Amino acid sequence: MKTSLRLLVLLVVPALAGHVLADDSTPADRARELQRDQGLVQTLIASGLKLAAEKDPLRRADHCNRLADSYAVEIKRAVQHKDAQRAAQYGQQMQALLTRGVAQNLAVARAAPKPDEPEINRLGAWVSITAKSIEDELGNHPELETEEMQFMLDAVARGKADVDQAVKGKH
């Protein structure tokens, strides 16, 4: 299986599995959760298909960055709704996307004979802005400084660090 398809499976399956495997929620709760996440699941599938067809590593990194933005929106929405468990789950998935999608593709792009430095730097900066927006949203809700929220922040920070290393050529 191609790396981009593995990444898609890695992201979509946990998003769907949470609804099916939820052990303490009612079928109506699970249906509401699936409906709530339907936009993200559709985005993941559509973007994953584009990603699977893309050969250029910078474009793949860009696709993954756009998906990371979608995760950031969902994480911030979870923070606003005080849903620490959902924020932590999406933080972990965002880390995988940043590490396996953005950073790995940037590393491949950097290894090219003539790497596109401005684009590599732009994509790295984009990740920094996205990560900062999550931190800022959590900062607006100091009552949510829980272990799960810290787990989410740590996961996003690890993904961002992997991207930073790839931008610098150290990945």
Per-residue pLDDT tens digits for 79-102: 999 888 889 999 999 999 999 999
Q: How confident is the model at residue 132 (pLDDT cuts 50, 70, 90)?
A: very high
What is the average pLDDT value for the chain, to the nearest integer?
85
Q: Is pLDDT of 12 > 90?
A: no
Burial class of residue 46, CB neighbours in 10 A (0-12, 13-18, 19+) = exposed
Question: Exposure of 34 by Cβ count < 10 A (0-12 exposed, 13-18 middle, 19+ buried)?
Answer: middle
Q: DSSP label at 169?
A: T
pLDDT at residue 4, as a whole number:
55
Higher pLDDT: 106 or 12? It is 106
Q: Is the pLDDT of residue 118 over 90?
A: yes
Residue 142 DSSP label: G
Structure pTM?
0.81
Q: How confident is the model at residue 20, as a pLDDT? A: 47
pLDDT higher than threshold 60 for residue 169: yes
How far apart, in whole angstroms, are the C-alpha atoms of residue 61 and residue 103?
7
Buried b / exposed e along 112-149 (16+ C-beta atoms within 10 A): eeebeeeebeebbebbeebbeebeebbeeeeebeeebb
* Stronger pLDDT, 109 or 3, i.e. the higher one: 109
Mean pLDDT over residues 29-49, rounded? 80
For 55, 88, 135, the CA distances from 2, given in Å and listed in that order, are 11, 27, 33
- Among 33-37, 67-71, 82-86, 162-166, the minimum mean pLDDT is found in 33-37
In the chain, the amino acid numbered 4 is S
